[in-house]
Each structure stands twice: as structure tokens, then as C-alpha cells.
Structure 1
């Protein structure tokens, strides 16, 4: 990384600057890709360079290189495919409307210029599916259609590794969040694992394997890819960050912090503000699991000073909304949660985060009427997302509503109704998946259910809820502390010692203000 220089070219692209790193050798700091084209030799070299950036989601840089490819060879029609691919940005997130219009125009230009091989025409036709009727058809429907188109492309060219790699990625982005067999993800991983052996320096293979394994029951399968990817592409902010997706899933907080500190540094140097904020949110999450709240707060303070990114692309606005919410909720500071400021955003799912946490905070600090006002706003945002046919984020907003409403019932003294509502919210959340844009919700619904059971005087049931949380999301400090307290209150001192021991082990460097850690230490000294 020290030898890699970055030239930041200010390019008007969706209202923010485009950081374009200086071109590196293919085997230097970004990995190795060979995507064969019918273009002139100089254009071919540039095209491969563009694919290096694209496979690490350095999409704005890849777009610039594909534009340079066309300058080197105006008849290189497949370069228009590259630009259109870059304009989708992170394929796990719906791109801004402007990008969709621009990408559709690039597809049209690619077809108009023409390409010299059927294979290249097939690539353009497959990507065209992603842009077809984008003004009318929702992102989810289009990405599922694109996955089918990529399946056909991969079948047509079985010896083309790039076709297989892009198909594997499409299997992940189009997978149903409700499918707990992870059939699509495992199918994609089965495609990529042999390619990883053939092309060990290909950045996309390790990168997409991490995404494909980024689910609780299969996360450990991604550890090898996680540890490879950062080494393959040390110049890429995303490559430094992606290992933390797996580290988060398995509860390796120290490794996640290190991964994201480097990712944030590289992203800051290259001007990739969304990547920087995304990595910092993962740092905040990990520090809070270690009980190192002051370090988490310092990261949040740094985040709030970052400006100049597009507000219609999810990662940056999401990180700025959820990190302060995490800080309040993970520490049990319910008054602070209730008083969070709603950051202006054109994205309904971003505003929903804050309104949901404000409602939870108000209910838990004894102000159910204030909570109801935020719940009403949350319902409005949920309905807006439903109208936009955003099934995933509307469902997440509905789960937030269920959680907050359950705690309103509890605050009003309707404990049995509250427990039933909270159980339903936890069940609903368990049926879905976290989005790649986040390390996790501010606090899992089942963990909150455990807290409610504990307050209601049902420690055995509470222990089961906390233990279930830990099976899904290992090494969460709040779940360990809740399980320990529940075991103690139910009279199971053996389990209490075990879980208090885990609290102390995971958070031995916690700030003194973290009472759950000091209580765990006191219990262990006594017993």
C-alpha cells in the first residue's frame, strides 16, 4: 500500500467526487484478473484494470478506467458493459435513479457500437436485464431476472471463469432473505471454490465468497476467503473491510476492528466516503461488543464530520444514522436513545432506524406517549417503503415497529401482551437476514425479548432467549451479560459462572462505566 499513489480526480458523479486511484500493475496491489475481450491490446490492458477495481466494488474508479478503455479503442463495445456494471455500484444495494438512467444509456451505446464476438454480446444482453424498465420495475424483481440471465450466460460459457464469477455473485444478491437453507449462497460458493484454486490472486473470487458465506450457520466457511482477500488487494478499501463481515459473524471483535481501521484509512486516502463510513460503523459495533465505549464514541464523532457523499446511496447515510443509535442502545442509555436526532435523509429506511430507536428508548425510559409518536412516523416510513415495493426494508421497519410497540405495552403495565408481542417480533426478525450494509441491528429482537423476560421475573425463559441470540450472533456482550444474570437469578450458579466468565473474557478491556462487566467480575470473585 505504501508504494501505491492515489490521484483524486474531481468528477461530477451523482453529486459527489470520484476518487480514482493511479493505475497499478495487475499483480501489485489489487490482484489479477484476465477478462478476455476482442478489443485492441492497450484497451484490453485497461479493461482488465477496470475489472480489478470492479471486483473490489471500487466502482467509481472502474467506471473511469472503462471510459479510458473506450478512448484507447472506441470500438471496444464491451467497455460500455463495464461502465454500466460500474454504475450499479454495490450490487447488494439499489443504485440511485440517475445511475439507472445512465447505465441504461451505456447498454444502448454498447449495442449500437457493436461487439465482435457473440460472447461479448451475451454479456451486454445479460446486464441489460438489470436495467430493463427500471422506472417501473423494482430492484428486487430486476435483480432476480438478472440472476437468471447470468445463469444462462454461465451455462453457455462453462469455461469462462468471469461468467461463473458474476453468476455466483448474482446468486447471492438475488437470494431470498427468508431462505434459511442458503441454497443459492451455497450454490454460488460451490462455483467459486474451485476457481479460487485456479486463480488464487483473483480479487472477486475471495470477495464474493465472503458475501456468500456471510450468514450465521455458514460463516466459518468464509474464514479462509476473509484472510485471503485483504492480502490479494491491499490497495482496496473494500478488500480491507470485507473480512470483517465474517469476523463479525463469528464474533472476532479485535480482528474486525483492525480490518476496518485499515479499510477506513485506505478509503479516506482515496476519497471513498461511503466505504469509509461503512467501515467505521463496523468499528463502532465491534468496540461496543468489547465494552470500549469511549473508542466507539470517538469513531462516531469522526464520522459526523464527514460530508460530501451522495445522500441517495445507502451505505454512508445508513452508517451515520445507526452508529449513534448503537451507542445508546448497546449501553442501555434509553433516554439518550429517545432523544436521538433524526438525520435528514431522502432514504426512508435510514430515517426509520432513528425513529425506531427513539420509540424504543422512550418506551424503556417510561414515556410511552412519546414512543407512540415515533411509532406513527415509523409506520409512515414503512408504508412508504411498501409503496416503493421495497420488501426487505419495509419488513425491517415493521419489525422495528413491533419491537417498539411491545415495549410500549410493557411500559403501560400490559406485561403479558408485551411478552407475546416481543416474542412475535423476535420470531419475525429470525426469519429474515441482516443486510450486508450493516454488522447488525442496534440490538437483536431476541436479546430484547430476553431482557423483557428477565424484568418480568422469568429468568429461565430469559436465559433461553439470550442463549438463542448467541447461537445466531456469537460473542455479543449484552447477550452474555443477560444470560449470566438470568442463570444467576434462576439459581444455576454453574451456568452463571460460565457466562459471567465469558463477559469478563470478552470485555477485559472495557471502560469502567460498563456495569455489566464490573458486576461479572464481582460475581466471579464472590463465587
Structure 2
């Protein structure tokens, strides 16, 4: 088996190195994407380029990967696996499902790969798997197609237990079909069990480190992800997503300075490569980390930069979500109720994106004592939820339902019905605890259980508040507002030890 390192000079993904004072010219840094070994029956002359394309695919550099696979197809028109790679580039297993145009392109490439026919059974199994994803795409919903892909990859994995790439892709398929409602994280643990021994054998494989981070992106499993998180940005520093991904684990563990460094690097790399979606994604995580670190001025500067980027809420989901969440985080984390009450949902925003603004306005009005003013936005949240249910977007419908409960809870509290508010907010917190976040976000704008602590504190029930804050911090360590609230609640109940503990964590 021939192993090559995906290191290329002067590529579209390379960052420019600074010229020394003795040099007359600047030389670009080598492209570094990690080490991939993926033998195929294609022409030997394209093997290097094919493995580079796979390395890009493993770091979710989908546009660059598609281009690289297409160049392989142009160089070797008989290479069925090049068309497999293009079809894979349109799949996006852990992101939103392909848009209609992407779906059509991916389906056409899967068909072409099948028509060309691969020369080995292993390649035919991989092509059959991606063909299963695109089969009858106009009628079969994305989750069912993802399950079909996973089932086909399970067959391939059982046939080729020693094949690194087959096993890694199978692990990714398990992550793609993991249920957000499964708090046991069964699929994630199964994927981790596949990937961990491969990681020990191939510590510079980009997909292994990347997918381990995704597998362990939960409060339960995050400590397991710290080693691959610290490694991934060094394995594939030419890929902006590889620079960002470690911050998923850093966020789970409350390592804010690490998250800031990770997303500053990812933002700069994405900007230099013109990847607006990845840049906005890094900026949202960066804003979140700055706020938790108490660096509000830096967070404000990041949010202000949105104005010069020309992005809007109606853009592709990844862009629209970040562009909407960032100013909302800034206002709500800062308890700037007047600012939050004036937020606007952008034209064309998806209901799950617009709902963030409606929630913020409703809660802000209620928390500033204007209970009746929350009515219109609560009605808008209900409409968003119905729209999502009709579109069979059950995950987002649940998330919007949680937002609606939170808004109603604060409205009840503001309207002299505090017990109803507490009961409703407790239901929202229980519901939120029972569902995992998606990778698109570092977390809720304000976790429901943290809001429950706020409400208890407002109602002069400090012990209940302290219990709620502790539970919130167990799920999301290091959140600044929860630490501050817990310190105040501990003061009120005379627990000086806990109060001191919380303030020490705040000052780190």
C-alpha cells in the first residue's frame, strides 16, 4: 500500500508566509492536509491528487474537494472513484442536507460512478453506498437516505475490517445518523470505538482526529476529545475547518482562551480562502468564547464586522444562523433588553433562524417588565414551530418549542404568575437537557437551566437558583453568567465556600 502525505506547494489552501528581511520574494507555506492512504484502480498518475482530494474531503473543504476530484476525473476519464468523490463532496454528512442543486449534482455523479464501474469490489461497495444516499432523492427524506448510506457502509466495513478509509467513512456515517435525542450517545461511542485504534496507528490522519472531535462533542464525552482536538489543527492547518474544530471540545470544557485562539486562526484562514460560511461559523464560536471570557469589547468588534461582510439571514443556513445568532448573543448575554427587543429577523430567514430573534425580543420585553409586548413574538415562535413541523424538521421544531416555552415562562413571571413561569421554564430545561445541540452552534444563546437560575434568583429563592446554576454549569462549564449567578445565590444562602469557588472560576 502506497502512503502519501497530502502536502502540496503553492495551492489555493496555502497561507502566505512572511518574507524574511534577507529575502527578495515571499514564498507560500507548504499545504498541509494530513496523511491519507487511499489506493484505487485509477491511473497511477492521479493517485497523489486523489489522496489530496480525500484529505480535503475529510476536513469538510467541500468546494476544494469537488474541484480536486474533478481534476482527477479530467486526468483519468475512466476513474469511477473520482465521481464517487464528487458525489461525496455534495453529501455533507454532519451539516444541513444538500440544497436542491447540490443534490442533483451529487446524484448525477453517483450515477456516473456506477456507470463507469470500478475495477475492485471495495470500490464498488463505496460507490454503492453513496448511490444509496442519492437514490430516489426527490421522494426519500434526508434522514432516511443517510440511514441507507450508513447501512451500505456497515456492509463495506464488515467486508473490509482492516481498511482504514472504509472504517473511517463508516464511523462518519454513524455520526451522521446519531439521534440528537439519544442521550446515551450510542452511535458516537460506536464511532469512537472504531476510530480510537486507528488514531493510535495513524495519528496524522485528518479524518480520524476530525471525526473523534465530532464523536465526543457532548458534555458526557468531551474529555475524551481533548487529545484529538489539540492534534487536529496541527495535522491539517491548511484547512480552515481543522483550525476551528478543536473549539467544539474547548467550548464543551470551558477552555475559552483555547477556543479564542482556535477560532481566530480559523477565521483568518477562511477569510483568506473566501470561505464565508466557515468564516461566519468561526466568528459565532469566537463571539461566544469572548463573552464567556469577559472580553465584551472584542465580541462587539466581531459582531460589528458583520456589517462589512454583506451577509444576511436569508443566506445558506450556516451563514444565516451565525449572522443572526451573533448579535443576539451579544445583546442577551449582556442583558441589554432594549437592544434585544429591537433585533430584526432578516428577510428570507429560515424559521429556525428567525425564531432566535423572536425569542430574544419576547424574553427581552418580558424581562424588562413589558409582558404584553411579548405576545406578538410568542405568536411568531408558534408559527415557526408549525412551519418546521410541516416541513418535517422535527429537531428544529423541538428547539423552537423550547424557545417558546422560555418566552412564555418569562412572560408569566412578568405578569404576576411566577409559579407558572417556573413550571414552564423547568419543562423547557428538561426538554433542552434531553436533546443534543447540532455542530452549527456552540450552544443555546442562554441555556434554559441557566435561565431557570435567573428566574429563581429574581424570585428570591437563592437555594433553588444555586441548584439550577450548578446543573447548568455541569452541562456547560465555565459560562460566565451562570458562574456569576451561582456566586450571588451562594452569597444569599450563606455558602461562602461555593461563592468563593465560583468567583475564582470567573477570575481565571
- Do both share a fold (TM > 0.5)? yes
Are the counterparts in 2 of residues 29 and 233 from structure 1 also a CA contact under 8 Å?
A: yes
Q: Report 1:397-416 matches (<5 A).
A: 397-416=400-419
Distance 1:31 1:202 in 2: 6
Q: Which moved more, 1:267-276 or 1:104-113?
A: 104-113
Of residues 472, 475, 499, the one that matches 1:472 is 475
Q: After TM superposition, what 4+ stretches of structure 1 lie above 6 angstroms from structure 2?
A: none
Deviation (angstroms), 1:298: 0.2
Asked if 1:54 is matched to 2:57, the reply is yes
Of residues 17, 33, 36, the one that matches 1:33 is 36
Are the counterparts in 2 of residues 129 and 142 from structure 1 also a CA contact under 8 Å?
A: yes
Counterpart position of 1:463: 466
| CA spacing shift, 1:173–1:368, aligned 2, 3 Å | same
Counterpart position of 1:518: none
Counterpart position of 1:348: 351
| CA spacing shift, 1:311–1:159, aligned 2, 3 Å | farther
Asked if 1:166 is matched to 2:138, the reply is no
Distance 2:107 2:280 in 1: 29
Distance 1:464 1:384 in 2: 36
Are the counterparts in 2 of residues 403 and 425 from structure 1 also a CA contact under 8 Å?
A: yes
Distance 2:505 2:122 in 1: 55
Structure 1, residues 105-152: CA drift from partner, whole Å, max 9, x if none?
Answer: 111111122221222111111112222232222222222222222111
Counterpart position of 1:244: 247
Are the counterparts in 2 of residues 138 and 388 from structure 1 also a CA contact under 8 Å?
A: no
| CA spacing shift, 1:201–1:375, aligned 2, 3 Å | same
Asked if 1:452 is matched to 2:455, the reply is yes
Distance 1:347 1:495 in 2: 42
Task: Please give the root-mean-square deviation of Cα atoms over the aligned residues, in Å.
Answer: 2.0
Q: Which has the higher contact order (CA 8 A, sep 6+)?
A: 1
Q: Which moved more, 1:437-446 or 1:299-308?
A: 299-308
Q: Report 1:12-161 matches (<5 A).
A: 29-89=32-92, 91-161=94-164
Using the size of structure 1 for normalisation, the TM-score is: 0.89
Distance 1:144 1:74 in 2: 31
Distance 2:314 2:421 in 1: 36
Deviation (angstroms), 1:395: 0.8
Are the counterparts in 1 of residues 313 and 348 from structure 2 also a CA contact under 8 Å?
A: no
Are the counterparts in 2 of residues 43 and 76 from structure 1 also a CA contact under 8 Å?
A: no
Of residues 255, 259, 267, the one that matches 2:258 is 255
| CA spacing shift, 1:134–1:311, aligned 2, 3 Å | farther
Structure 1: runs of 5+ lacking an equivalent: 9-22, 507-527
Secondary structure at the counterpart of residue 217 of structure 1: coil
Deviation (angstroms), 1:346: 4.4
Structure 1, residues 212-254: CA drift from partner, whole Å, max 9, x if none?
Answer: 0000011010010001100011111011001100000000000
Distance 1:371 1:241 in 2: 37
Aligned residue pairs, count:
489
Of residues 429, 432, 440, the one that matches 1:426 is 429
Structure 1, residues 151-191: CA drift from partner, whole Å, max 9, x if none?
Answer: 11111111211111011111112111121211110110111
Structure 2: runs of 5+ lacking an equivalent: 1-6, 14-27
